[in-house]
Chain A
Amino acid sequence: NAGVMQNPRHLVRRRGQEARLRCSPMKGHSHVYWYRQLPEEGLKFMVYLQKENIIDESGMPKERFSAEFPKEGPSILRIQQVVRGDSAAYFCASSPGRGRFEQYFGPGTRLTVT
Chain B
Amino acid sequence: DQQVKQNSPSLSVQEGRISILNCDYTNSMFDYFLWYKKYPAEGPTFLISISSIKDKNEDGRFTVFLNKSAKHLSLHIVPSQPGDSAVYFCAATLQGGSEKLVFGKGTKLTVNP
Contacts and interface: CB of A to CB of B under 8 A. Distances in A.
Interface residues of A, number: 28
Contacts of A93: 43, 101
B43 A101 contact: no
Nearest to A91: B43
A35 B89 CA distance: 14
A101 B50 CA distance: 10
A22 interface: no
B43 A105 contact: yes
A61 to B, nearest CB: 16
A56 interface: yes
Nearest to A9: B41
A105 B93 contact: no
B100 A56 contact: yes
Contacts, number: 65
A63 interface: no
Interface string B97-113: 01111111110000000
B19 interface: no
Interface residues of B, number: 23
A105 B95 CA distance: 19
**Which of A48, A103, A104: most chain B Cβ within 10 A?**
A103
B59 to A, nearest CB: 12
15 contacts: A4-B43, A6-B43, A33-B100, A42-B103, A43-B101, A44-B103, A48-B98, A56-B100, A91-B43, A93-B43, A101-B93, A105-B43, A105-B45, A106-B43, A110-B41
> 8 tightest CB-CB pairs across the interface, nearest first?
A105-B43, A56-B98, A42-B103, A45-B100, A42-B105, A43-B103, A105-B44, A107-B43
Interface of A: 4, 6, 31, 33, 35, 40-45, 48, 55-56, 58-59, 91, 93, 95, 101-108, 110
